[in-house]
Amino acid sequence: MSGQEREHRSEERSALRERTEDVVSEEPDEQPTTTYEQAREELADVVRRLEAGGLTLEESLGLWERGEQLAELCQHWLDRARERLAQATPGGQPE
């Protein structure tokens, strides 16, 4: 692997870490900085990259961890939507 390739992969890992830190807040009522649609699209991209292969073990693990965080974020958005529907529906249960 050339020095340029190592540098590029290192930059990708750093960017991945930075995005991860911004995604889900520790406060349950605070809105995440990423929308559901953004998280879903990035998750689909992570899956495509993992399925394509050709990554180092470290890169694969980083993507896997990012995918787990994105899945958690998507679930957060879906749970919030379900709560809003329950509040707006007579009897408190969405149809």
pLDDT in tens, the chain (95 residues): 566 665 655 666 555 555 544 444 444 455 667 899 999 999 999 999 999 999 999 999 999 999 999 999 999 999 999 999 999 988 766 65
In whole angstroms, give the CA distance from residue 44 to residue 20: 16
Single-letter code of the amino acid located at 24: V
The predicted pLDDT at position 94 comes to 60
Per the CB < 8 A criterion, the answer to whether 23 and 32 are in contact is yes
The tokens for 79 are 């749970």
The predicted pLDDT at position 51 comes to 97
**Topology classification of domain 3-23+32-90:** Helix Hairpins (1.10.287)
The tokens for 25 are 């807040």
Reported pTM:
0.64
Helix (H, G, I), strand (E, B) or coil at 66: helix
Q: Domain coordinates of the chain in residue numbers?
A: 3-23+32-90
